[in-house]
Amino acid sequence: MERLQNLIDGTLRPAQSGRWLDVHAPATGEVFAQLPDSDEHDVELAVQAAKRAAPGWNALGREGRSKVLLKLSELIERDLDEFARAESRDNGKPLSLARKVDIPRAVANFRFFATAILHFPSEAHLMDDVAVNWTDRQPIGVVGCISPWNLPLYLFTWKIAPALAAGNCVVAKPSEVTPLTAYRMSLLCEEAGMPPGVLNIIHGLGPKVGAAITAHSGIPAISFTGGTRTGAEIARVAAPMFKKLSLELGGKNPVLVFADCDFEEMLATTVRSSFTNQGQICLCGSRILIHRSIYDRFKEAFVERVKALRVGDPDDPASDLGAVVSKDHMEKVLAYIALAKEEGGRVLCGGERVVLEAPLKDGWYIAPTVIEGLDGRCRTNQEEIFGPVVTLQPFDDEEQAVAMANHTPYGLAAVVWTRDLKRSHRVARALQAGIVWVNCWMIRDLRTPFGGMKQSGVGREGGVDALRFFTEAKNVCIKL
> Contact residues for ligand NAD (CB under 6 A)?
146-150, 155, 173, 175-176, 206-207, 210-211, 214, 225-227, 230, 233-234, 248-251, 282, 384, 386, 412, 452, 456-457
Catalytic annotation, pick one of 145, 282, 372, 384 = 282
Least distance in angstroms from the C-beta of 456 to ligand NAD: 6
Which stretch of DSSP H or E encloses residue 138?
A: strand 131-139
Per-residue CA distances from 229 to 33, 225, 232, 412 (Å): 28, 11, 5, 15
Sheet holding 124-127, edge to edge: 124-127, 131-139, 471-479
Give the Cα separation of 125 and 122 in Å (integer).
10
Q: What is the dihedral of CA 189, 193, 199, 202, to 10 degrees?
A: 30
CB of 214 to ligand NAD, least distance (A): 5
**Catalytic residue chosen out of the listed positions 176, 248, 372, 461:** 248
Q: Read out DSSP for 149-173? A: SSSHHHHHHHHHHHHHHTT-EEEEE
Residue with Cβ nearer ligand NAD (197 or 250): 250
CB of 343 to ligand NAD, least distance (A): 21
Inter-axis angle of helices 61-78 and 152-165, nearest 10:
160
Q: Is 282 a catalytic residue?
A: yes
Q: What share of the chain is helix, strand, coil (3-state, %, to 5)?
A: 40, 25, 35
Question: Residue 118 CB, nearest distance to ligand NAD (Å)?
Answer: 26
DSSP one-letter code for 311:
B
Distance CA 64, CA 194 (A): 10
Task: Choose between 224 and 258: whose C-beta lies nearer to ligand NAD.
Answer: 224
Q: Is 261 a catalytic residue?
A: no
Q: What is the dihedral of CA 57, 238, 152, 175, to 10 degrees?
A: 110
Give the nearest distance from C-beta 212 to ligand NAD in angstroms.
Answer: 8
CB of 182 to ligand NAD, least distance (A): 10
Q: How far apart are CA 81 and CA 84, in angstroms?
A: 5
Which is nearer to ligand NAD, 233 or 420 (by Cβ)?
Answer: 233
Closest CB to ligand NAD among residues 157, 230: 230
In the bound state with ligand NAD, the residue whose beta carbon lies nearer, of 42 and 176, is 176
Q: Which is nearer to ligand NAD, 282 or 294 (CB)?
A: 282
Instruction: List residues with catalytic annotation.
Output: 248, 282
